């Protein structure tokens, strides 16, 4: 069974889950050969394993607050903030509060 993604020109609702966060799930929104966009839900206290994307990455915090660890440096990313990571930059995310992130990867596939 294939996963349904949004089609070009289709409007995607990325509003924060807010009071419905308990029912929130992560989802891939767009998957094409050159770009992937997904909404990532991370509950408070959870940590991602270190990850290196296959391209440049932007991470936008839609709600909550996370700690982003990149190259031995930790910084806080909170709602209404965005960060850009270079190609092949390993990173880890720690949820300091229930959080939803919008992650975009500009793929570097050959």
Instruction: Supply the CATH number for residue 63's domain.
Output: 2.60.120.10
Residue 108: its pLDDT value, please? 74
How high is the pLDDT of residue 5? 81
Q: Does 16 map to a domain?
A: no
Taking residues 25-47, report their average pLDDT. 95
> Per the domain annotation, does 20 fall within a domain?
no
Q: Is the predicted pLDDT of residue 2 greater than 50, yes or no?
A: no
- Model-level pTM? 0.91
Label residue 24 by pLDDT band (50, 70, 90): very high
Whether 109 has a pLDDT exceeding 90, the answer reads: no
Mean pLDDT over all residues of the chain?
93
**How far apart (Å, rounded) are the C-alpha atoms in residues 34 and 46?**
29
What per-residue confidence (pLDDT) applies to 88? 87
| Residue 22 counted as domain residue | no
Longest Cα–Cα distance of the chain, Å, equals 42
Domain that holds residue 44: 38-107
| Number of domains making up the chain | 1
Note whether residue 7 is domain-resident: no
DSSP 51: B
Q: Is 27 within a domain?
A: no
- Other beta carbons within 10 Å of 63: 19
**What's the DSSP call for residue 20?**
G
Residue 45: exposure state from Cβ atoms within 10 A (0-12, 13-18, ≥19): exposed
Residue 45 lies in a domain: yes
Could you report the per-residue pLDDT of 63-90, keeping only the tens digit for each?
Answer: 999 999 998 899 999 999 999 999 989 9
């Amino acid at each position: 069974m294939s996963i349904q993604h949004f089609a070009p020109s289709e409007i995607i609702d990325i509003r924060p889950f807010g009071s419905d966060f308990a029912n929130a799930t992560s989802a891939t929104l767009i998957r094409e050969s050159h770009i992937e966009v997904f909404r990532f839900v991370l509950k408070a206290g959870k940590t991602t394993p270190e990850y290196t994307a296959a391209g440049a990455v932007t991470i936008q915090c839609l709600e909550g607050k996370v700690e982003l660890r990149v190259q031995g440096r930790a910084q806080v990313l909170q709602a209404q903030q965005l960060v850009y990571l270079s190609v092949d930059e390993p990173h880890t995310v720690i949820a300091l509060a229930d959080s939803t992130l919008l992650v975009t990867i500009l793929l570097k596939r050959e």
